[in-house]
Amino acid sequence: MNAQLFFQAPKDFSTPLLVIFAVDIATSKGEAPSPALLTTSNVIARNASRWLSTGEFKAGLGETLLLHAPEDIAADRLLIVGLGKAKSLSLVELRKGAGTAVRFARPRGLRDLALGFPELQALSDEPSTGLAQPWIARVLAEGAQLANFDIDTYRSDHTDQSMHRVSLLHEKADKKLQSEIQQGFHEGIVLGESQNFARMLINEPGNVLTPTELGKRTAAMAAEVGLQCEVHSTEKLLELGMGAFYAVAKGSEQPPALIVLRYEPEQPVADDAPTLGLVGKGITFDTGGISLKPADGMDKMKYDMGGAAAMLGAMRAIALLKPQVRVLSVICSCENMPSGSSYKPGDVLTAMSGTTIEVLNTDAEGRLVLADGLHYAKTLGATHLINAATLTGAIGVALGQLNAGLFSNDDNTCAQFQRALTLSGEKFWRMPCTDDYRDVIKSSIGDIMNTGGSRYGGAISAAMFLKEFAGDTPWIHLDIANMAWIDDVRPWQSKGPAGVGVRSIVEWARSYQG
Ligand code: BES
Ligand code: ZN
Ligand code: ZN
């Protein structure tokens, strides 16, 4: 998708589809919705006003109203897109609004549209949103990119609906603001594209995206954006003594992939500056192994590499946005299969760190591959760790499907991530993993068990297991199992892989710039 920014009046811009945003300015309860356009152009307002007063369009979030052959403006069509209540307008709604416009255009064969920059000053009672214009440009770009994604790659009747061009039109900006808006817009494009890269990987079926294939796709991405990349397999796992990762991998005929990516900032940073380690769970298919999962819904376990995909998407964006901070990524990818060579309940494994692990359930495999991934990232020089994983069904029991799980052993690092969330617009809820939970994974046979003794607090016992391998290094664990796959179609996005985590991880990494 070609994305362009024009500093030009929307009414004069020649386009098949001009998009203008609207909010509902009704304030008191019970009052009828009152749509107001976010434009200062009288001619655009004149075209829409007759239809806005009919009550058929309420400016709800994701609502649309199409006007053909508008008068005295250069566009062929005018699309009004609702953003919901004026007083609750935030970057989140703007991102969804841009997405709604793109997903309106695509099935109608409109491949080129222009977004009129939302002019909040058009409201007589301007909401004190504090929304900076570069940020607005950024989220509009993100929303447009994210909407330009579908999951039907393998359908024979698949037709390419992707947008050719999305333009953003801004009328009034001085040179300084122009360049800030340009920068925001560019960042949004990169972040949206990188999140879509993650979503594309997650959407691939397990028979296509094997660990080896994930390695190949990563290497190709790395070469494209200029990241250093190494892809290893079984031999390296054995050489490093990754007894936990190897145990999971050995039940499959598909060899594992241990992927290492490195990003070096353009200007050298001080030796004692932080090195961020991004570790991803890359189970390309999780059958549960010998502790086999039930058949119902098992097909979804192709998305058990969603954590790895989030890290790969983040690394792609980091390589393109070039923050002044060292970042490395370790991806542990394999299948979890039942076979004659599978690891078994009761087995005792020795992780790369030397910790011994009693296996109670072979379906708790994600924490095993991450145990070695986290330890390895430390040996490669990571001073701050973050991992993402579709780790537990229990995180959905705890949090539903609105917030993913956030765990940390360090309040400062966690606060830094939470600040990043206010910018990325993603939702993570901090869960406890204090040492008083440590007993639930204590083993009498080895050092720790790979599951807690009970079903209660399953997401926390998984986090406690990982914490063991983070040790004293500041660490964040993102359990995204409940948010990695979206079951509902929304006006602004397709159902399927969400690519959750990418934007927040990038924002967090950028907050460490020297
Ligand atoms: N990959 C699953 C977790 C998962 C569940 C991801 C649902 C996405 C949606 C993980 O490997 C797993 O099976 N975890 C077990 C842990 C249990 C055996 C302690 C679970 O959540 O049931
Ligand atoms: Zn599992
Ligand atoms: Zn799993």
Q: Which residues is 277 bridged to in the sheet?
A: 328, 385
The DSSP element (H or E) to which 24 belongs, if any, is strand 18-24
**Residue 159: predicted pLDDT:** 85
Ligand 1 atom closest to the CA of 392, numbered from 1:
21
Q: 3-state SS string over 472-493?
A: CCCEEEEECCCCCEECCCECCE
Q: In angstroms, what CA-CA distances link 417 with 92, 174, 379, 411?
A: 18, 33, 23, 10
Ligand index nearest the alpha carbon of residue 361:
1
CA distance 407 to 87: 32
| Surface-to-core class of residue 176, CB atoms within 10 Å of its CB (0-12 exposed, 13-18 middle, 19+ buried) | exposed
Indicate the residue type of 7: F
Ligand 1 atom closest to the CA of 303, numbered from 1:
8
- State CA 495 to chain mean position distance: 14
Backbone angles phi, psi at 235, to 5 degrees: -55, -45
- Please work out whether the CB of residue 364 comes within 6 Å of at least one atom of ligand 1: yes
Other beta carbons within 10 Å of 443? 16
**Residue 28: predicted pLDDT:** 83
**Residue 115: predicted pLDDT:** 98
Q: 3-state SS string over 215-278?
A: HHHHHHHHHHHCCEEEEECHHHHHHHCCHHHHHHHCCCCCCCEEEEEEECCCCCCCCCCCEEEE
- State CA 192 to chain mean position distance: 9
- Please work out whether the CB of residue 289 comes within 6 Å of at least one atom of ligand 1: no
- Please work out whether the CB of residue 282 comes within 6 Å of at least one atom of ligand 1: no
Q: Active-site residue 293, yes or no?
A: yes
Residue with token string 């990043």? 420
Structure tokens at 508: 């967090």
- Please work out whether the CB of residue 389 comes within 6 Å of at least one atom of ligand 1: no
CA distance 287 to 409: 31
Helices (H), 35-74: 42-52
Backbone angles phi, psi at 451, to 5 degrees: -140, 160
CA distance 124 to 155: 49
Ligand index nearest the alpha carbon of residue 393:
1
* Max intra-chain CA distance, the chain: 80
| Surface-to-core class of residue 340, CB atoms within 10 Å of its CB (0-12 exposed, 13-18 middle, 19+ buried) | exposed
Which region holds residue 51: left if phi is over 0, alpha if psi is between -120 and 50, else beta? Answer: alpha
- Please work out whether the CB of residue 390 comes within 6 Å of at least one atom of ligand 1: yes
- Please work out whether the CB of residue 440 comes within 6 Å of at least one atom of ligand 1: no
Domains of the chain: which residue ranges? Answer: 2-196, 204-510
pTM value is 0.97
Which residue among 87, 165, 293, 438 is the active-site one? 293
Same topology, domains 2-196 and 204-510? Answer is no
Per-residue pLDDT of the chain (514 residues; tens, 9 = 90+): 999 999 999 999 999 999 999 999 998 888 899 999 999 999 999 999 988 988 999 999 999 999 999 999 999 999 999 999 999 999 999 999 999 999 999 999 999 999 999 999 888 776 666 789 999 999 999 999 999 999 999 999 888 889 999 999 999 889 999 999 999 999 999 999 999 999 999 999 999 999 999 999 999 999 999 999 999 999 999 999 999 999 999 999 999 999 999 999 999 999 999 999 999 999 999 999 999 999 999 999 999 999 999 999 999 999 999 999 999 999 999 999 999 999 999 999 999 999 999 999 999 999 999 999 999 999 999 999 999 999 999 999 999 999 999 999 999 999 999 999 999 999 999 999 999 999 999 999 999 999 998 889 999 999 999 999 999 999 999 999 999 999 999 999 999 999 999 999 999 999 999 7
CA-nearest residue for atom 16, ligand 1, is 364
Q: Active-site residue 378, yes or no?
A: no
How far away, in angstroms, is 365 Cα from ligand 2 center? 5
- Dihedral sign for Cα 452, 455, 461, 462, please: positive
Ligand index nearest the alpha carbon of residue 289:
2
Q: In angstroms, what CA-CA distances link 20 with 10, 334, 399?
A: 9, 47, 36
Task: Decide: 144 and 115 in contact? Cβ < 8 Å.
Answer: yes
Backbone angles phi, psi at 205, to 5 degrees: -70, 160
**Residue 129: predicted pLDDT:** 63
Backbone angles phi, psi at 310, to 5 degrees: -60, -45
| Surface-to-core class of residue 193, CB atoms within 10 Å of its CB (0-12 exposed, 13-18 middle, 19+ buried) | buried
CA distance 397 to 399: 6
**Residue 514: predicted pLDDT:** 79
CATH number of 2-196: 3.40.220.10
CA distance 352 to 237: 9
Ligand 1 atom closest to the CA of 450, numbered from 1:
19
**Residue 126: predicted pLDDT:** 66
Question: Strand, helix or coil at 25?
Answer: coil
Which residue among 96, 262, 316, 367 is the active-site one? 367
Pocket test for ligand 1, best of 302, 363, 448 (most atoms within 8 A of CB): 363
Ligand index nearest the alpha carbon of residue 282:
3
Classify domain 204-510 at the CATH topology level. Answer: Aminopeptidase (3.40.630)
- Please work out whether the CB of residue 394 comes within 6 Å of at least one atom of ligand 1: yes
How far away, in angstroms, is 216 Cα from ligand 2 center? 24
- Please work out whether the CB of residue 418 comes within 6 Å of at least one atom of ligand 1: no
Task: List, as one string, the DSSP characters of 397-431.
Answer: HHHTTT-EEEEES-HHHHHHHHHHHHHH---EEE-
Ligand 1 atom closest to the CA of 361, numbered from 1:
18
Ligand 1 atom closest to the CA of 452, numbered from 1:
19
How far away, in angstroms, is 101 Cα from ligand 1 center? 36
- Please work out whether the CB of residue 409 comes within 6 Å of at least one atom of ligand 1: no
Pocket test for ligand 1, best of 291, 392, 456 (most atoms within 8 A of CB): 392
How far away, in angstroms, is 475 Cα from ligand 2 center? 22
Task: Decide: 33 and 196 in contact? Cβ < 8 Å.
Answer: no
